Amino acid sequence: MNDYTHAAETQAHSEIREEVRKLCLNFPGAYWRELDRAAAYPEAFVRALGEGGWLAALIPEEYGGSGLPLSAAAAILEEVQRAGCNGGACHAQMYIMGTLLRHGNEAQKQLYLPKIASGELRLQAFGVTEPTSGTDTTALKTTALRDGDEYVVNGQKIWTSRAEHSDLMLLLARTTPREKTQKKTEGLSVFLLDMRIVKDNGLTIRPIRTMMNHATTEVFFDDMRIPASALIGEEGKGFRYILSGMNAERILIAAECIGDAKWFTEKSVNYAKERAVFGRPIGQNQGIQFPISKAYAHMRAAELMVYQAASLYEQGRDCGAEANMAKMLAADASWEAAEACVQTHGGFGFAEEYDVERKFRETRLYQVAPISTNLILSYLAEHVLGLPRSY
Ligand SMILES: Cc1cc2nc3c(=O)[nH]c(=O)nc-3n(C[C@H](O)[C@H](O)[C@H](O)COP(=O)(O)OP(=O)(O)OC[C@H]3O[C@@H](n4cnc5c(N)ncnc54)[C@H](O)[C@@H]3O)c2cc1C
């Protein structure tokens, strides 16, 4: 690796980074290319990360995890991406588990967290988005109605990634009809769904093929009965619980984008030095140098915002603005670095064997998910700059 991609001040958690890099060496481009062609899940990679304890980084030691701070989890995911791997296969386990940790009762934590930490159980699926409500989460239509000791769930989710490869799903559903609540954010509840019990017994999962290999699905709930003990925290407070986990999600995804940007930049620089056209390396031309340099500068600026957001988060301070800005700036930086990388590679940027086109497709997602750039800009306009609410 070139030194320029990891300046001294950005080397927090250097031992963790080193270990993750070593693990990722076992999963080179050829591994990911084959999976990409077959639209297959990176089972061996996720198993290796789980066995190494990396996916349990944020689970407290008392429940079998390593109790590391958020910046350590960010370092793990950044290194995964920087090595050319795809953390999208398992990153959700790091951030959705926080809802269980913060709002679950002791019995739920004892039952699930040690098994999640050991890799025996996977909590990889997050059922929030629905086809009709989209970004307007509180307009979701899936209902969970109490019936004795159970809830009966009906509705549909979309883009529920990794549902086929997860044992558990964190599910957001409406437990009180919208018209019976004072605010639209009330009456939503979070459930920890044990999919092993309800699969094909009220729960149907259908894969959606996408431009990159992301194991995403749509899921259907048809009179699906789940025990009342699956409810996390208090009924009706689910939206607040989900929101409280969003900052961690944004920061971790931003760290992944920083890793992607570093991967693209290193790839661009190496190719620009080697490829000779008109009798000299293409990297000697400023037309090739400048887009790479610009993307690099933007990545470094975004990286500082990721560190600041993580630092505020770890101090228990409000980091909504910083987490959102980190996600947007890092996603923009990775996309810019991706674009420069394709351009630097010329025709080979489109050839599978260079991995550039695969990573290009993969990093494009972060302009849209888990929150799109427009919604971040709206958040900043309204909550930071005090402009009128636009929607
Ligand atoms: C591969 C993939 C994996 C995903 N994984 C998950 C997952 O595991 N779990 C989950 O719950 N969701 C998941 N999502 C969903 C993702 O979070 C949403 O796609 C994203 O939040 C955007 O919502 P939408 O697709 O419904 O777009 P829409 O809400 O329909 O918006 C469409 C476009 O309009 C823009 N827009 C909408 N409203 C406004 C406004 N008021 N002002 C300006 N612009 C606006 C949006 O920014 C977007 O560009 C995934 C999505 C993808 C593609």
| Closest residue to atom 3 of ligand 1, CA basis | 159
User: Is residue 375 within 6 Å of ligand 1 at its C-beta?
Assistant: yes
DSSP label of 257: H
Neighbouring-strand partners of residue 237:
188
The pLDDT of residue 383: 97
* Top mutation candidate among 159, 190, 391 for ligand 1, by most atoms within 8 Å of CB: 159
Please give the model's pTM, rounded to 2 decimal places: 0.97
User: Is residue 381 within 6 Å of ligand 1 at its C-beta?
Assistant: no
How many angstroms separate the most distant Cα atoms in the chain? Answer: 79
C-alpha 350 – ligand 1 centre gap (Å): 27
Give me the DSSP letters along 7-66: -GGG-TTHHHHHHHHHHHTTS-HHHHHHHHHHT---HHHHHHHHHTTGGGTTS-GGGTS-
Q: How many CB atoms lie within 10 A of CB 103?
A: 19
3-class SS at 371?
Answer: coil
User: Is residue 246 within 6 Å of ligand 1 at its C-beta?
Assistant: no
User: Is residue 86 within 6 Å of ligand 1 at its C-beta?
Assistant: no
7-59 pLDDT, tens digit each: 544 578 999 999 999 999 999 999 999 999 999 999 999 999 999 999 999 99
* Top mutation candidate among 208, 368, 387 for ligand 1, by most atoms within 8 Å of CB: 368
Cα-Cα-Cα-Cα dihedral of 303, 247, 332, 345, to 10°? 70
9: tokens are 């001040």
Backbone angles phi, psi at 150, to 5 degrees: -130, 165
Please state the atom number of ligand 1 nearest to the C-alpha of residue 172. 11
| Closest residue to atom 37 of ligand 1, CA basis | 135
345-378 pLDDT, tens digit each: 999 999 999 999 999 999 999 999 999 999 999 9
Q: How many CB atoms lie within 10 A of CB 11?
A: 10
C-alpha 321 – ligand 1 centre gap (Å): 19
Nearest to 372 by CA among 134, 162, 141: 134
Backbone angles phi, psi at 276, to 5 degrees: -110, 125
Q: Is the pLDDT of residue 382 over 90?
A: yes
C-alpha 284 – ligand 1 centre gap (Å): 41
Cα 213 from Cα 162, distance rounded (Å): 11
236-281 pLDDT, tens digit each: 999 999 998 999 999 999 999 999 999 999 999 999 999 999 999 9
Backbone angles phi, psi at 5, to 5 degrees: -85, -10
108-132 pLDDT, tens digit each: 999 999 999 999 999 999 999 999 9
The pLDDT of residue 244: 84
Nearest to 316 by CA among 223, 228, 247: 247
183-213 pLDDT, tens digit each: 999 999 999 999 999 999 999 999 999 999 9
272: tokens are 């620009």
Neighbouring-strand partners of residue 156:
220
Cα 153 from Cα 165, distance rounded (Å): 21
Distances in Å between the Cα of 105 and the Cα atoms of 11, 67, 88, 102, 260 are 36, 18, 28, 9, 37
- Give the mean pLDDT of 326-338: 98
